[in-house]
Amino acid sequence: MKLVSRRTVENGHKFIIDANGRGLAVGRVGVVSGVLRVAGVRKVFRGNVVLDDLWLEVGEHEVVVLIGASGSGKSTLLRCVNLLESIDDGTIHLDGVDITEPGADADEVRKKIGLVFQSFNLFPHLSVLDNITLAPRRVHRLDRATAEAKALALLQKVGLAERARDYPDRLSGGQQQRVAIVRALVNEPRLMLLDEVTSALDPELVGEVLALIRSLKADGMTMLIATHEMGFARQVADRVCFLHNGQILEEGPPHRVLDDPTEPRTRQFLRLMESSGRLGG
């Protein structure tokens, strides 16, 4: 169903009206559910409208995967959620709190969100352990012993405990990306945002990062993930969202969106992915 940007409020319920005039209830006025709720968000870069009245909700323990052409706004959306970009219209709620209000404390918001990029961004001059414990000690004010115990427990879980004292350049790309994910997890985030976390990896290293993300899903972590790898989307997504022209044009369970899309634009995008070998099995 294509959502057009007509919204209405009736009897205290908010609706989006689709192209056929049918109403889709999107919640009660003043009542916000889900871990993340992006409502009517607009983002413009120097006249370039990147997000245009975008609506998206991520429920507790849900894994939502964003797909879409390069430049469709996946990273911009994740950056808006983490308040690395300001928005031009709409609201973003985290656990029912409007984090885009002028008075919102961005540092407090970021404490609750783990963000991992394609390039791992580990500090080269710090050991694995110090990379992971930096934020817990500086931002969350944990003492060194507690922070290191938490970090070591997580490193153990991802099979990297013996690398704790190494510097990042001694680790493979896959190992560095697992450390970057541990660095986000150590703060016990409510929500993980993953932006193309497997894109910079050699194919033989992708598997170990995917396995870690699957185990996070099994642990119930709520995640919003941007990827070009449809196989990855298929493996981890509860819901796949196709971004096009600044909006979510189509969404649904992975098999529905990836194998049987209803929108011509989604089909066109998936054909391109297939021709570049990124459709996955």
Ligand X SMILES: Nc1ncnc2c1ncn2[C@@H]1O[C@H](COP(=O)(O)OP(=O)(O)OP(=O)(O)O)[C@@H](O)[C@H]1O
Q: Which residues contact 275 (CB under 8 A, 6 or more apart)?
A: none
Q: Which is nearer to ligand X, 74 or 234 (CB)?
A: 74
Which among 74-82, 90-98, 176-184, 204-212 is the span making contact with Mg ion, rule CB under 5 A?
74-82
| Cβ pair 123, 134 in contact under 8 A | yes
In the three-class reduction of DSSP (H, G, I as helix; E, B as strand; rest coil), residue 48 is classed as strand
Enumerate the β-bridge partners of residue 39.
Answer: 91
Structure tokens that stand for 71 in this block:
């430049």
Interaction residues for Mg ion, span 21-60 (CB under 5 A): none
Q: Which is nearer to ligand X, 49 or 161 (CB)?
A: 49
Q: Total residues at the site for Mg ion (CB under 5 A)?
A: 2
Q: How far is the CB of 52 from Mg ion (least distance, A)?
A: 17
Structure tokens that stand for 120 in this block:
């791992």
Task: List residues near ligand X by CB under 6 A.
Answer: 45, 48, 50, 68, 70-76
Q: Which is nearer to Mg ion, 76 or 266 (CB)?
A: 76
Q: Which is nearer to Mg ion, 75 or 235 (CB)?
A: 75
User: Residue 20 binds which one of ligand X, Mg ion, none, with CB within 5 to 8 A depending on kind?
Assistant: none
Residue type, 90: G
Q: How far is the CB of 131 from Mg ion (least distance, A)?
A: 23
Q: Which is nearer to ligand X, 45 or 123 (CB)?
A: 45
Q: Which is nearer to ligand X, 73 or 231 (CB)?
A: 73
Structure tokens that stand for 108 in this block:
């407090």
Phi first, then psi: give them for residue 52, nearest 5 degrees: -135, 95
User: Residue 71 binds which one of ligand X, Mg ion, none, with CB within 5 to 8 A depending on kind?
Assistant: ligand X
The verdict on 75 binding Mg ion (CB under 5 A) reads yes
Q: Which residue has the tokens 């529905």?
A: 256
- In what side-by-side order are the strands of the sheet with 3-10? 3-10, 13-18, 23-28
Enumerate the β-bridge partners of residue 10.
Answer: 13
Q: How far is the CB of 169 from ligand X (least distance, A)?
A: 26
Q: How far is the CB of 216 from Mg ion (least distance, A)?
A: 20
Q: How far is the CB of 222 from ligand X (least distance, A)?
A: 20
Of all residues in the shown chain, the one whose CB is closest to Mg ion is 75
In the three-class reduction of DSSP (H, G, I as helix; E, B as strand; rest coil), residue 95 is classed as coil
Closest alpha carbon to 61 in 39, 81, 35: 35
| Cβ pair 14, 24 in contact under 8 A | no
Q: How far is the CB of 82 from Mg ion (least distance, A)?
A: 13
Q: Which residue has the tokens 């609750």?
A: 112
User: Residue 45 binds which one of Mg ion, ligand X, none, with CB within 5 to 8 A depending on kind?
Assistant: ligand X
Interaction site with Mg ion (CB under 5 A): 74-75
